[in-house]
Amino acid sequence: MASEPQKYRLLADIMNDLALLSDCLVPRVLEYRLPLLCFSGVSRALCGVMAGAVGATMTAHFAKRGNLADVSAKSSSVGTVAQLVGTMVQRLLSLGVEFNMLGWNFSVASDNVESIYLGDFIYTNISAHIIELQVDPHLFC
């Protein structure tokens, strides 16, 4: 993985996208929920292994003068902050979609909102990799 980290990062992102898609398909095809959930779990586990290995390689590359632990801690804290901000934004947006009528909770077009979020995530993920290819195309050869 150390020789071609971008290829493995791309593969990890694809595995994560497949896990998200299979998770979103579960409520729509309940008869296949067990295989879909198993596939999602395996895809997410493979994504974690590949992303962790690539992250360790990148951290070792950027660490200078024996500050590997410092670079790793900063990278981890930035990831934690990004997850917290994403969770807060998701919660705020989901509050705007729900309403209560006669004691029943309804979600207005939750499938459409979920599809928009998922489509946007996959689009931006692919766009980031295309930009990465344009910046340094020999990395994927």
- Per residue in 111-140, pLDDT tens? 566 677 777 777 887 777 676 656 554 544
Whether pTM > 0.75 for this model: the answer is: no
66-99 residue pLDDT tens: 888 888 888 778 878 888 887 887 777 666 555 5
Higher pLDDT: 101 or 62? It is 62
Domain boundaries, the chain: 5-62+96-140
Question: For the chain, first and last CA: distance in Å?
Answer: 15
Q: Angle at CA 65, nearest 5°, toward 64 and 68? A: 60
Tell me the three state secondary structure of residue 17. helix
Q: What is the pLDDT of residue 140?
A: 45
Q: Please, is 85 exposed, middle or buried when counting C-beta atoms within 10 Å of its C-beta (0-12, 13-18, 19+)? A: exposed
What Å distances lie between residue 128 and 9, 63, 83, 123, CA to CA? 12, 24, 18, 9
12-63 residue pLDDT tens: 888 988 898 888 888 888 899 999 999 999 999 999 999 888 888 888 877 7
